[in-house]
């Protein structure tokens, strides 16, 4: 098998998307896995002393080939899914995962890395090289590889049970959500609900051969009912059903997640102790920017103290509005969303549809590129490459002298067979190779509306402001990947960046979507070509911070609960709180403003921390927001499109990737440690 017969094995340039077929996947993956294992054997059994060139480089070469080929398969599986490709992906995924598990547990490799780190020659490696070796050693430890055999067996059993219990947690939430239905006999009872939601409910009932309307707890139905249904009793019924999902108050006791929460916490605690840590939070924080749970708690409480008065004001205003204008003197939790929408509509009357007409695709892309070219001193131009769908576009970034910096694909439109959401993926990572530099390549994928029609008669795609923000956000991740100058793949671009700092460059880019100097060049009405009226922009700005106090304390409530649960709660002794629910009640007493009903069982469906990757990490949302707002404040001081500030952000943050701690990069850029002030100011939480 050669690159000529299997394009997945061709690493001479960009992926050959025009030639790759599902039948290529298994033979390519098998060959690359065999190659990687042979390399592991060679370096692990090498009798001479470990050096960068005898240990790290051969492994990096073999893994880079595997990652590039497997990355293509994963990418295609996500954006042009077919049954054949899905089968090929699922057939090979366990094999690829198994190799990474082997690597993480190979004590011969650990000994080699240890030897390299302890050798006098280590001092002569550059900072990214040193960081990559330190990361390897850290990950062997956190992955349980260094435990004695008996403990290692137990560690593995914990991992397996956790994976299973967490999956069950998710299943219960899903089952409880799907099982609940409510039939409404006539449309009068749904007054206020948007017509498309009513249409869906009608169709869902008809599909079962029933009259009337079928309501469910799935978000596209639940949310608009809570927001818009005039029928208060209906809102109350659905609010109760949603708040008690997967709990002892829910419809089916088999779906109660209470016992699973206890089990998950006990397993995480045991895992932490096996590794020699006092709590799960401590283990989680080792590879993060935040250093200790105390630091995270202090951060959340500081922000909470400042946000709470604003949240109280938001709530008082909402309750008064509900009482005076909606005739709801006994304002209740099932009225919050409803009253919020009414107040918002009253105060900021502008239509998303009207706004959208000002954001045709070509203007938005030109506006985005203008910002990036101006502040970072680069040039972006469209180029050509093999792609996986005719609507995909390909671009090159060069420096002012025309030297290649990186390349990226834009796959912007929603279509069948493409996974929802928006994300940035790395296609090729920047690193030094024998022939010079391997330039980075990124995929930027969104699910935006496509143009209508084709050719000259096509109506251009118009984006909502929210869409534009999404595009800027993903492009920020892309720039982190593409503007790196690091030459070691495992810490170049977004790789090796602390998980709680990874959203800094992406959220940073969002700020430009709220700048008049940017928007006035980025907008042109799709018919009249007029730019966005200043008045409309002012309304957008006013609406931006609507109820931001309430939203902030809600995020802080989740973050505090999560960190206290994983840092201080003892699941065996039930101390210092009787139960996770008792802890949540205590946190709410401290920070929450919206009253909660007795039946609220929110944590039973809190998949982020019990089934997803956010355990002891929920604070990251706010953490990264503070960093990105504070980074952006330098641009507010020096000029929104300041190339001097841009050069510094590029040199000290984007270019460094994971090659040094994120805090060091931030301080080098900003000249001081991060502060809350800019975020508070952006959220209108500063009393001037
Ligand atoms: Zn992101």
Task: Give me the mean pLDDT over the 32-49 stretch.
Answer: 97
Got the DSSP string for 242-265? Answer: HHTTTSTTSS-GGG--HHHHHHHH
The strand pairing partners of 409, in sequence order, are: 394, 443
Calculate how far, in angstroms, residue 261's C-alpha sits from the geometric centre of ligand 1.
28
- Token pair belonging to 33: 């896995």
pLDDT digits over 258-292, tens only? 999 999 999 999 999 999 999 999 999 999 999 99
Q: What is the mean pLDDT of the chain?
A: 95
378-383 and 213-216 strand pairing: unpaired
The 8-class DSSP code of residue 651 comes to I
Q: Which among 361, 474, 625, 652 is annotated as catalytic?
A: 474
Task: Give me the mean pLDDT over the 386-407 stretch.
Answer: 97
pLDDT digits over 123-161, tens only? 999 999 999 999 999 999 999 999 999 999 999 999 999
As separate numbers, helices (DSSP H) first and strands (DSSP E) second, the chain gives: 26, 9
Instruction: Evaluate whether 586 touches 577 at the Cβ level (below 8 Å).
Output: yes
Calculate how far, in angstroms, residue 481's C-alpha sits from the geometric centre of ligand 1.
13
Instruction: Return the pLDDT at 458.
Output: 80
- Beta carbons within 10 angstroms of residue 436's beta carbon: 7
Task: Give me the mean pLDDT over the 426-432 stretch.
Answer: 97
Percent of the chain topping pLDDT 90: 90
Q: Rounded to an integer, what distance in angstroms lies between the CA atom of residue 270 and that of residue 446?
A: 40
Residue 642: closest CA among 619, 667, 669: 669
Instruction: Evaluate whether 605 touches 168 at the Cβ level (below 8 Å).
Output: no
Calculate how far, in angstroms, residue 329's C-alpha sits from the geometric centre of ligand 1.
41
- Token pair belonging to 127: 């900072």
Instruction: Return the pLDDT at 278.
Output: 96
Calculate how far, in angstroms, residue 496's C-alpha sits from the geometric centre of ligand 1.
15
Residue 362: closest CA among 436, 238, 230, 458: 458
Task: Give me the mean pLDDT over the 329-339 stretch.
Answer: 95
The residues, ordered by sequence, that sit 6+ positions from 206 with a Cβ below 8 Å of its Cβ are: none
441-448 and 404-413 strand pairing: parallel
Instruction: Examine the pLDDT at 688 and tell me if it is beyond 50.
Output: no
CB half-sphere exposure, 7, CA atoms < 13 A:
14
The residues, ordered by sequence, that sit 6+ positions from 397 with a Cβ below 8 Å of its Cβ are: 378, 379, 380, 404, 405, 406, 407, 408, 482, 483
Q: Rounded to an integer, what distance in angstroms lies between the CA atom of residue 273 and that of residue 265?
A: 12
φ/ψ (deg, to 5) at 184: -115, 125
Instruction: Evaluate whether 243 touches 603 at the Cβ level (below 8 Å).
Output: no
- Token pair belonging to 206: 């008809």
Q: What is the pTM of this model?
A: 0.92
The 8-class DSSP code of residue 292 comes to -
Percent of the chain topping pLDDT 70: 100
User: Tokens 């998950």 label which residue?
Assistant: 264
Calculate how far, in angstroms, residue 474's C-alpha sits from the geometric centre of ligand 1.
6
Instruction: Evaluate whether 23 touches 29 at the Cβ level (below 8 Å).
Output: no
Q: Rounded to an integer, what distance in angstroms lies between the CA atom of residue 566 and that of residue 168?
A: 20
115 catalytic? Reply is no
Instruction: Return the pLDDT at 457.
Output: 75
Instruction: Return the pLDDT at 1.
Output: 82
The environment of the single-atom ion ligand 1, i.e. residues with CB closer than 5 A, is 506
Instruction: Return the pLDDT at 687.
Output: 55
């Amino acid at each position: 098998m050669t690159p000529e017969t299997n394009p997945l094995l061709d690493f001479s340039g960009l992926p050959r998307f025009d030639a790759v077929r599902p039948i290529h996947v298994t033979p390519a993956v098998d060959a690359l896995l065999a190659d990687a294992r042979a390399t592991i054997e060679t370096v692990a059994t090498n009798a001479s002393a470990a050096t960068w060139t005898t240990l790290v480089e051969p492994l990096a070469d073999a893994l880079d080939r595997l990652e590039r080929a497997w990355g293509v398969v994963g990418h295609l599986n996500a954006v042009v899914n077919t049954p054949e490709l899905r089968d090929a992906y699922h057939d090979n995924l366990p094999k690829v995962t198994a190799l990474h598990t082997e690597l993480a547990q190979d004590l011969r490799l650990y000994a080699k890395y240890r030897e390299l780190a302890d050798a006098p020659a280590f001092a002569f490696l550059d900072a990214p090289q040193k960081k990559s070796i330190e990361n390897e050693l850290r990950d062997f430890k956190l992955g349980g590889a260094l435990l004695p055999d008996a403990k290692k067996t137990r560690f593995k059993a914990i991992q397996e049970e956790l994976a299973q219990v967490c999956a069950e947690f998710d299943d219960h939430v899903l089952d409880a959500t799907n099982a609940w239905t409510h039939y409404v006999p006539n449309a009068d009872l749904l007054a206020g609900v948007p017509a498309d939601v009513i249409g869906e409910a009608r169709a869902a009932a008809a599909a079962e051969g029933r009259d009337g309307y079928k309501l469910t707890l799935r978000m596209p139905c639940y949310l608009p009912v809570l927001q818009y249904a005039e029928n208060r009793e209906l809102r109350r019924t659905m609010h109760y059903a949603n708040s008690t999902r997967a709990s002892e108050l829910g419809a089916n006791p088999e779906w109660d997640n209470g016992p699973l929460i206890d089990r998950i916490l006990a397993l995480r605690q045991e895992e932490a102790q096996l590794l020699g840590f006092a709590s799960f939070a401590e283990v989680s924080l080792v590879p993060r920017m935040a250093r200790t749970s105390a630091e995270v708690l202090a951060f959340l409480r500081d922000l909470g103290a400042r946000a709470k008065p604003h949240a109280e004001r938001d709530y008082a205003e909402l309750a008064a509005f509900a009482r005076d204008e909606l005739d709801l003197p006994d304002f209740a939790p099932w009225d919050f969303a409803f009253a919020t929408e009414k107040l918002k509509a009253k105060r900021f009357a502008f239509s998303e549809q009207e706004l959208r007409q000002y954001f045709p695709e070509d203007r938005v892309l030109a506006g985005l590129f203008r910002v990036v070219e101006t502040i970072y001193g680069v040039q972006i131009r469209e180029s050509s490459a093999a792609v996986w769908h005719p609507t995909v576009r390909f671009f090159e970034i060069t420096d002012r002298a025309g030297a290649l910096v990186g390349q990226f694909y834009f796959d912007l439109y929603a279509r069948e067979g493409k996974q929802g959401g928006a994300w940035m993926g790395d296609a090729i990572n920047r690193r030094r190779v024998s022939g010079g530099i391997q330039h980075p390549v990124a995929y930027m994928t969104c699910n935006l509306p496509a143009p209508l029609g084709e050719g000259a008669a096509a109506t251009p795609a118009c984006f909502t402001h929210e869409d534009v923000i999404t595009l800027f956000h993903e492009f920020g991740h892309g720039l982190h990947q593409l503007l790196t100058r690091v030459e070691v793949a495992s810490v170049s671009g977004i790789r090796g960046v602390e998980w709680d700092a990874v959203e800094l460059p992406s959220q940073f880019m969002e700020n430009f979507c709220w700048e008049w100097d940017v928007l006035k060049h980025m907008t042109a009405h799709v018919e009249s070509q007029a730019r966005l009226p200043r008045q409309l922009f002012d309304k957008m700005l006013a609406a931006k911070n609507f109820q931001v106090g309430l939203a902030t304390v809600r995020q802080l409530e989740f973050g505090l609960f999560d960190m206290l649960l994983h840092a201080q709660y003892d699941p065996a002794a039930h101390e210092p709180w009787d139960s996770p629910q008792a802890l949540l009640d205590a946190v709410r007493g401290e920070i929450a403003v919206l009253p909660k009903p007795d039946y609220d069982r929110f944590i039973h469906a809190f998949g982020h921390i019990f089934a997803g990757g956010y355990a002891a990490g929920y604070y990251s949302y706010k953490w990264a927001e503070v960093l990105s707002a504070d980074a952006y404040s330098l641009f507010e001081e020096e000029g929104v499109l300041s190339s001097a500030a841009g050069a510094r952000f590029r040199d000290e943050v984007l270019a460094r990737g994971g090659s040094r701690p994120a805090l060091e990069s931030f301080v080098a850029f900003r000249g001081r440690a991060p502060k809350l002030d800019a975020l508070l100011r952006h959220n209108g939480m500063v009393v001037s």
